[in-house]
Amino acid sequence: MSSAVAMTSAGEVPPAGWLRAPEAAVLADIFAEDVQVAVWDRPSPVGQDVVALACEQRLAVKSWLEISQLEQGILRILSDEQYAAMRDDLFLLADMMACLFGVAGVGLRVTALRQPMCPRFHVDRIPVRLLCTYGGQGSQWLPATHVHSQLLLPGSDQGSLYPQAGVEQIGAGQVALFKGETWRDNPGAGVVHRSPPMSPGQQRLLVTLDI
The count of other CB atoms within 10 Å of the CB of residue 9 is 15
Compute the least distance from the CB of residue 84 to Fe ion, in Å.
29
Q: Which is nearer to Fe ion, 41 or 124 (CB)?
A: 124
Cβ nearer to Fe ion, comparing 89 with 124: 124
Nearer to Fe ion, 44 or 195 (CB): 195
The answer to whether residue 89 forms part of the interface with Fe ion (CB under 5 A) is: no
User: Minimal distance in Å, beta carbon 25 to Fe ion?
Assistant: 25
User: Which amino acid is residue 46, in one-letter code?
Assistant: V
Interface with Fe ion in residues 96-135 (CB under 5 A):
124
**Among candidates 87, 99, 48, 70, which has minimal Cα distance to 202?**
48
Residue 72 has a CB neighbour count (10 Å cut-off) of 10
Strands (E), the chain: 18-21, 37-40, 60-66, 105-113, 128-135, 140-142, 168-169, 175-179, 192-194, 204-210
Residue whose C-beta lies closest to Fe ion:
124
CB-wise, 124 or 210, nearer to Fe ion?
124
| Contact call for residues 73 and 57 (beta carbons, < 8 A) | no
CB of 78: closest distance to Fe ion in angstroms? Answer: 23
CB of residue 79 vs Fe ion: minimum separation in angstroms? 28
How many residues touch Fe ion (CB under 5 A)? 1
Give me the residues that bind Fe ion (CB under 5 A), please: 124
